[in-house]
Structure 1
Amino acid sequence: MTRTVEEISHALIDAARKAGAEAADALVVEGTSVSVEVRNGALENAERSEGTDLGLRVLLGKRQAIVSSSDSRPETLTAMAERAVAMAREAPEDPFAGLAGPAELARGWDAAALELFDPAPEPSAEILMQDALAAEAAAQAVKGVSQVSDAAAGYGTHRVHLSATNGFSGGYARSSRSISCVAISGHGTGMERDHDGDGRTFQADLRSAEEIGRTAGERAVERGGARKPATGTFPVLFDERVSSSLIGHLMAASNGAAIARGASWLKDSLGEQVLPANLSLVEDPHRPRIPGSRPFDAEGLATRKRKIVENGILTGWTLDLSSARKLGLSSTGNAARGVSGPPSPSNWNLSLTQGDKSRDELLRDMGTGLLVTSMIGSTINPNTGDYSRGASGFWVENGEIAYPVNECTIAGNLRDMLRRIVPANDARAYLSRVVPSLLIEGMTLAGN
């Protein structure tokens, strides 16, 4: 008889108790994914996967161990529990390990209000292929596109359930739908590529395949004839497509695990200014239909909306139970985990205050500088915030785009960069990270 993810998680907890665990939690994830790729008008690859992954964490005092499996048969659950308990007996003590107390647990959430699962029927492989073909055809129809290297469409669902000996039991389901396209312009050493794509929780919200393919093609053509920019100090405008990476670096530096290790350029900055005074950064895990939304975290604590940065001031760290205990604080309900590892702090949906100018107006204001539309590689010093990344995009002269550029490096220090950001008003509200284009004056460019 097929068991639900909830039933499997409860069975794992029962097995852990019988094996001698003092405390335990079990995470069970049941997933289905379908993906289709096309090339030159024909199917190139189609994949479908279904499976259930199980993770069991057991604790003996302050010793813990984690085991995982993709086999949910009763005898396997028993073996997992016995193995985990044996491993925990040999593990070193971790003074900060432990489950949440009953009073800390989430209660009375409404997962349905978050609209994380599209009830529409699963699209067939034929429908996905037609979407991918439509995206490819739209890209190929753009004058100047020499080939389409990839066009794909996909669908997936996940059902998650977390149970623990502290009394927590909760789960929810997710769905995802996506279309993507990569187009190439030019030939030989003059080839340039760019892409577009969209991923949504609900099929009805997905942008059309034709729009995605056309945009990928137009972007690839715009990059034709790219060259290296000048070397020097110039303003840099991070396009909305890449600007969220800057906020990602800020989040990595304010992650409780990094703070507890003392490995962060923000470690002494709590209560200090990290962004311009008119900007706030808000985390909201309760936005409907957004991938980063969830009613509770991976330790059973309620998620909540919070201002990580308020009017430029850093107000707190991102914490799970372990990092919070190390720092003498309380968890912010930000634990994330997979089935094979322990919880760790992670951010949910983020939103940065938008400005009152469009990207074009910021381009006009910057005069001469670089518009960055894509980045590769990175060298980030976690202790100092020194920043260096490969970049490509467009050179701007007299406030207007002059020509495409590639093979350049942009560098600065994150602490200084983030305090000087000037936001545009072009953020896409349906993304998990709602961050507009960001202008930063006085960055170092290495080109010719």
Structure 2
Amino acid sequence: MTTINMTRLDSSAADFSAQLKTRLAWDASEDFEIHKRVMDIISDVRNLGDDAVIEYTNRFDQCAFKKAAELELPKQALQDAWNSLSAEKADALQTAANRIRAYAEEQKLHSWQYTEEDGTLLGQQVTPLDKVGLYVPGGKAAYPSSVLMNAIPAKVAGVGELIMVVPTPAGESNPLVLAAAYLAGVDRIFTIGGAQAVAALAYGTKTIPAVDKIVGPGNIYVATAKKLVFGQVGIDMIAGPSEILVICDGQTDPNWIAMDLFSQAEHDENAQAILISDSSDFLDQVEHSINKLLPEMERADIIRASLTGRGAFILVPNLEVAAEVANRIAPEHLELSVANPDSLRQKIRNAGAIFMGRYTAEALGDYCAGPNHVLPTSGTARYSSPLGVYDFQKRSSLINCSAAGADKLGKIASVLARGESLTAHARSAEYRIK
């Protein structure tokens, strides 16, 4: 096998910013042919409803559905899948679900209010979304952890009805995915996928109810469909390739760090794995570990393409500069593999999830630590956050003016409204002035 020579950057180099920008660049240009196909599918589902969903599902997933009623999986199938698991798998799934739920319970937003001296009440009412759609990849691409991470926060938020869509190519379903849906409390499940599933959730058909928000990962057709139906419904995010950034002081086992980089690089060729260290010798050690361990990996070709095409080692003079570079990158996953991670963490402003200490592998967050693994990518951690209970809750402002409050606020509103030449606004407020 060809040796991987990791791309190396030096933060002290005059052209470091330009080099870093080039390495971070990811071609997310839209394929307009895919865009057009997805628009056509959405249009067909809006106009033809169940008939279009059945036709596309049969065509793309090699199914043979004849009636829309066949698209819904009986609730008993979820429990049967749970009952079919080995004790080891059931215990792992249950433990992960319990931890995700416990963490989610801490995130709940609560209603609040206060009363001013004149009796005017102000506050905020928090309510859950009525219906949410969860997209889950199907067939051999089984992601039970994704089911737990998306469904449990929704149920903790109090979502009235959680509707899952999962394709079953050639009738193939995954027991772990269905068991995860059972544990998470999914209310209804339809065996459809692709853009047609997103369109059905967004606009509704006679059989499939329209939802208020669609969450969950999918391929380029699913991502494009989510973009196009946004506005009709809410969506979680449009995720880019997976990312990991490790800051290490050179004292962690280099094999551990190499495997941490592999853990994200194995997702796909566009995944990005970056290591920042203040030790050039340590970067050499990790590169050696990469080349030693890579032949053992089942997805070695994907890891190789990812590390060669988008991976990087960055040398910095100290950990403070490492934190500055990390904030510029705003990674999805950030490992602080250093002696004092809490101190370094206080310098981090932009990251989807922060994994602190030498023993905290990013992979633990993917499955069972508790915090959500649905995270902002492609630098969007500068302004966005992990999926959480709050994404399934709405906030309504509360205002209840007393007579005295209406008198005081009415005078202020009148001045401001007339300043904007909105006379009806002003007079509406003035009617309530004593």
TM range (shorter): under 0.3
The higher-RCO structure (CA 8 Å, 6+ apart) is: 2
Q: What TM-score, normalized by structure 2, do the two folds share? A: 0.22
Q: Which has the larger radius of gyration?
A: 2
TM-score norm. by structure 1 comes to: 0.22
Question: Which structure: greater helix fraction?
Answer: 2
